[in-house]
């Protein structure tokens, strides 16, 4: 059974932690409520921090020349500088953070898909990060960042949780055992997950842990953290997960032909989107125990996040661009 450190997650306050939206309400999300039981939540609302509380006219993200401004159109007030100030101050105050869940399509907090306006008119087909969301991406783009809408998509949610708990594991490792041996052991445990995300990045991360340039250990950890984010920047394709599981199959030398055929049938069902990845994973995990394969037993691929967070409900939202954050 894998030990799971508690991730630290910044969550937009309106997502169940305060009624701070422009309509005076909040948004209740079942997944975020369940996530809050397994993580340390740091709620934050830049708009509330600059005095925008209760019912009010919404803000808009306005393009003026090459710059973006956060405007309240009815009053003509410009909140750009204030939001940037409180946002930067908040991020400077964070001692540790493993991920973000930001309010989708919010001109302040969203990390993508915010409608831009120019001279009062909506700019067709132009999308941007919100003002604070863009600041988060600039400073923490290597971390798992999602919004509440995209997290109703099963594959995006599963990928977010996987990355989040791996990040928490790496942060805990740095605090307790910032050594090359510790990093090498960690890399070994995430190798199958990295193979599913990007074999190119997996090899690059392996080169970083080899440390042929004899860099100081903290610098190696920093490089590893940044490149780990690049590896997780894309959601693994069905075919990538299947390739990893077929690779795993090679470790089990005592399987019968019927067992192999059954496993292949489960992979086919997963490929056809008729069953979740957890089904062939469970079969493979049972063989890991049966054949006592220690290398596989240590792999986070088989238990990427706490089981109580597993939920195969899928709204389909975010599917259009689920392969890219």
Banded model confidence at residue 190, pLDDT cuts 50, 70, 90:
very high
Look at residue 127 in the predicted model and tell me its pLDDT.
83
- Residue closest to 301 by CA, chosen among 199, 152, 159: 159
Fill in the DSSP letter of residue 95: S
Banded model confidence at residue 125, pLDDT cuts 50, 70, 90:
low
CA 290 to chain centre: 33
The token pair that represents 293 in the structure block: 């394969």
Look at residue 317 in the predicted model and tell me its pLDDT.
62
Average pLDDT in the chain = 93
Does this model's pTM top 0.85? My answer is: yes
Banded model confidence at residue 325, pLDDT cuts 50, 70, 90:
low
State pLDDT tens for residues 151-160.
Answer: 999 999 999 9
State pLDDT tens for residues 270-322.
Answer: 999 898 888 999 999 999 999 999 999 999 999 999 999 988 778 766 544 55
Task: Show the beta-strand stretches assigned E in 21-85.
Answer: 40-44, 60-64, 67-72, 77-78
State pLDDT tens for residues 204-238.
Answer: 999 999 999 999 999 999 999 999 999 999 899 99
**Domain locations in the chain?**
8-148, 153-325
Counting Cα atoms < 13 Å in the Cβ hemisphere of 191 gives: 18
Look at residue 311 in the predicted model and tell me its pLDDT.
85
Cα-based angle 149, 89, 135 (whole degrees, multiple of 5)? 40
């Amino acid at each position: 059974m894998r030990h799971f450190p508690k991730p630290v997650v910044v969550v937009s306050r309106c997502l169940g932690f305060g009624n701070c939206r422009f309509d005076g309400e909040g948004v209740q999300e079942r997944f975020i409520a369940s996530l809050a039981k397994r993580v340390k939540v740091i709620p934050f609302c830049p708009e509330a921090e600059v005095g925008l509380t209760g019912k009010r006219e919404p803000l808009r993200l306005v393009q003026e020349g090459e710059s973006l401004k956060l405007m309240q159109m009815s009053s003509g007030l410009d909140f750009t500088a204030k939001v940037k100030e409180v946002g930067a101050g908040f991020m400077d105050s964070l001692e540790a953070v493993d991920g973000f869940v930001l309010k989708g399509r919010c001109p302040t907090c969203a990390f993508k898909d915010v409608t831009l306006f120019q001279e009062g008119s909506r700019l067709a087909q132009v999308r941007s990060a919100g003002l604070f969301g863009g600041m988060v991406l600039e400073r923490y783009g290597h971390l798992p960042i999602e919004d509440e809408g995209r997290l109703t998509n099963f594959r995006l949610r599963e990928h977010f949780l996987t990355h989040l708990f791996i990040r928490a594991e790496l942060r805990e490792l740095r605090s307790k055992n910032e050594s090359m041996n510790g990093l090498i052991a960690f890399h070994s445990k995430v190798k199958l997950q990295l193979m599913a995300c990007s074999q190119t990045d997996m090899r690059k991360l392996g080169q970083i842990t080899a440390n042929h340039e004899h860099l100081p250990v903290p610098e190696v950890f920093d490089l590893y953290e940044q490149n780990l984010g690049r590896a997780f920047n894309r959601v693994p394709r069905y075919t990538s997960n299947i390739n990893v599981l077929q690779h795993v199959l090679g470790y089990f030398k005592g399987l019968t032909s019927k067992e192999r055929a059954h496993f292949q049938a489960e992979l086919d069902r997963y490929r056809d989107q008729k069953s979740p990845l957890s089904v062939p994973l469970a079969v493979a995990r049972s063989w890991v125990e049966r054949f006592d394969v220690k290398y596989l037993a240590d792999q986070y691929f088989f238990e990427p996040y706490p089981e109580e967070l597993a939920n195969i409900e899928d709204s389909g939202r975010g599917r259009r661009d689920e392969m890219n954050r």
